[in-house]
Amino acid sequence: MGNLLIGQSGGATAVINASLAGAVQEALRSDQIDGIYGALHGIEGVLKRQIIDLRQESDETWSRVLATPSAALGSCRYKLQPEDPARALEVLRALNVRYFLYIGGNDSADTAHRLALAAREADYDLRVIAIPKTIDNDLPITDHCPGYGSAARFIALATMDSALCTEAIPHHYPVKVIEVMGRDAGWLAAASALGKERPEDAPHLIYTPERPFSRERFLAAVREVQQAVGYVIIVATETIRDEQGQSLGAAFAQGTDAFAHPLVSGTAQHLVELVKTELGLRARFDKPGDLQRMSSVAVSGMDRDEAALVGRMAVRYALQGVSNKMVTLERQPGPDYACETGLADLEAIANAQKLLPDHFLDAAGTGVTRAFYDYALPLIGEALPKHVRLNRIRA
């Protein structure tokens, strides 16, 4: 018998709590687990011994947490300092924690990996399992990441709706830029095309970090679309860079986070100013911000189910003696979408990224291919609405 401790880390998502609920519900069913604890604000809560007893919550609470966005335990962005693993182990020993589950992305995998190594060095029997979470969808080895499907659905719907607003009065602001998250990967920007049915539908231009941004090609493409369609909807990842590797949002940089990732936010402003000054077209931008990460209005049922699944499986793997691993989602072959879980070494996940592959982008690099639709559509849940347009037959 041993106790289980679980924490949440990184940016909160619409379904990260589904992983928490799935893990706790699975632990409650096990006779091998005694105490079930939660660390407030991730690894920082462990280091400060801010621990709560999750067995004191009702069954109804966990069924409702399953459908609640954001991080119920509180999250953090904290990079372990050299002395921290030993301090964390002190807390875990005092609580007789034998199973440690950590829900998060690339940086959280690094935290879990370092804790697993410290436990091994100290000869402390601790099973450490990472549960994947990130809207960036950039964790290697796993087919996709819980959190991405819901964020992708949000971005697809936001693009469709925002485009209709521009289409209704195109001469007012004929160019619109929608800036999305994604760190160094363009998975979310690509998802903006999932509601596109006709060539003239938005988004007309997509810019991702995987392809260097060319000022001249951008301006030529905007002019071409504006003349052909009458308005232009552009979706850009916040971290796109020019051909010299300089971030377009560098002028609005806000420093770095604990893991030295740059905090940029000026990409949309830069593109809008470029269009206004070089093409003489009125332009504006939309920035969904945190809404794209954790809004409950566009949750993918598939995403929520898989988030709960990886939480449940993390407990099962830990009880089997597995440690220093992350739960993965493995897409199965066949015409119908299906995923099973697997395991990956944390060392291969920590601080690594999976970028949008070339074959998901078209030759120009500003649109997506059929292969991307086949990959992403199953992840966003039920079919997107099909907006209708009037025939506009003159009286």
Active site residues: 136
- Beta strand 2-8 with 33-39 is parallel
Give the C-alpha distances (Å, rounded to integers) separating 77 from 2, 11, 107: 28, 8, 8
Q: Which residue has the tokens 């292969």?
A: 371
Q: Which of 88, 89, 163 is nearest to 125 (CA)?
A: 89
Instruction: Catalogue the long-range contacts made by 346-350 (C-beta closer than 8 Å, 24 or more residues apart).
Output: 346/109, 346/110, 346/112, 346/113, 346/116, 346/128, 346/130, 347/113, 348/140, 348/141, 349/106, 349/109, 349/113, 349/130, 349/139, 349/140, 349/141, 350/106, 350/107, 350/109, 350/110, 350/112, 350/113
CA distance 358 to 368: 10
CA distance 22 to 52: 18
Respond yes or no on whether the N-terminal peptide bond of residue 203 is cis (omega within 30° of 0).
yes
CB 159 within 8 A of CB 178: yes
Helix residue spans in 192-300 (DSSP H)? 215-229, 267-279, 291-294
CB 279 within 8 A of CB 301: no
CA distance 24 to 86: 26
Spatial CB neighbours of 321, under 8 Å, sequence gap ≥ 6: 127
Q: Could you write out the DSSP letters of every residue in 177-201?
A: EEEE--TT--HHHHHTTTT--STTS
- Beta strand 325-331 with 175-180 is unpaired
